[in-house]
Amino acid sequence: MPNVLVIPSIDLTHGHCLRCIKGEVGTEQLYAEMSDHPVELAQLWRRENAKCIQVTDIDSFRGEVNADVLDMVVEMQRAVDIPLQVVTKQNDVDAYRRLLMAGIYRVAVNTLAVTDADAVRALLDEFGSSRVIFGLRAHNGDVDLGNEHGVMTDTDYIRRVYDLGGRRVVYTEVDWEGNLTGEDLQTIRRIASAAPVRFTMAGGIASPQHLWEIQAAAPPNVDSVVIGRALYENRFPCQAIWRHAEAVLEPVIHSTDVVQQSSISRL
């Protein structure tokens, strides 16, 4: 099968990044400051050869409406020459439409696939299945759709997405998130057979070995993975080279009352 695409993850809350990269000794301020500048963090992942970045609006999943976070996401997309796929929980399809019209390449719809299927189908007709994708967060094979709609199996959700016209799903399991334990190949095979859509698997990957396992054993419609914690903790060999280069280029980000780009961002 083709190489699995690695997608770095940036989680945003109140305009800040939840995770901070661990750099070489002496560069702590560089990366600590960068966590307050999501645009620069997106540029850094791009410079380190990312072909796509996933940005998750954490506030939306806590029930918080924060327009500033969505504005920040648009700014991040404008600052890089690769697609951002934005995972956010919105109560109406127009919120996703506004993001797409503002230039966001790809949005991941979640519960609205069930609660407002006609509007989601119209969004797919308008923007296409490359730009409108679907996300689900499962636990023991079930997806919690909220108090009004109860629980649906992950495979039923995937089939619902396919019937709507969706052709990509970002899948994560609660037990994988942040645990660095790898992804369960049995689960991957089970959900990958649910419908002829492409899958991006998110969470759990801690090492090159985990990537090689997916590369070797996952079905061909599993073509990408989202990695967060492991990348921020520099668990991949190539990252040592990147961090050393960044330490030489700039030991600190110079911030004033007016946000400035660091010299890393100007490279």
**Domain map of the chain by residue range?**
5-249
Place domain 5-249 in its CATH homologous superfamily.
Answer: Aldolase class I (3.20.20.70)
Strand 84-87 and strand 142-144: the pairing is: unpaired
- Span 170-180, pLDDT tens digits: 999 988 877 77
The predicted structure's pLDDT at residue 237: 82
- For residue 230, give the nearest of 6, 26, 80, 64 by alpha carbon: 6
The predicted structure's pLDDT at residue 259: 40
> φ, ψ for residue 239 (rounded to 5)?
-70, -25
Structure tokens at 249: 């280029």
- Span 222-246, pLDDT tens digits: 999 999 999 998 888 877 777 877 7
User: Angle CA(22)–CA(27)–CA(31) in degrees, nearest 5?
Assistant: 55
Task: Tell me which amino acid residue 132 is.
Answer: V
Structure tokens at 112: 């609205």
- Span 121-176, pLDDT tens digits: 999 999 999 999 999 999 999 998 877 778 899 999 999 999 999 999 999 998 88
Contact 57, 10 (CB under 8 A): no
> φ, ψ for residue 44 (rounded to 5)?
-65, -50
- % of the chain with per-residue pLDDT over 90: 63
Which 3-state string (H, E, C) describes 196-237? CCEEEEECCCCCHHHHHHHHHHCCCCEEEEEECHHHHCCCCC
Task: Tell me which amino acid residue 73 is.
Answer: V
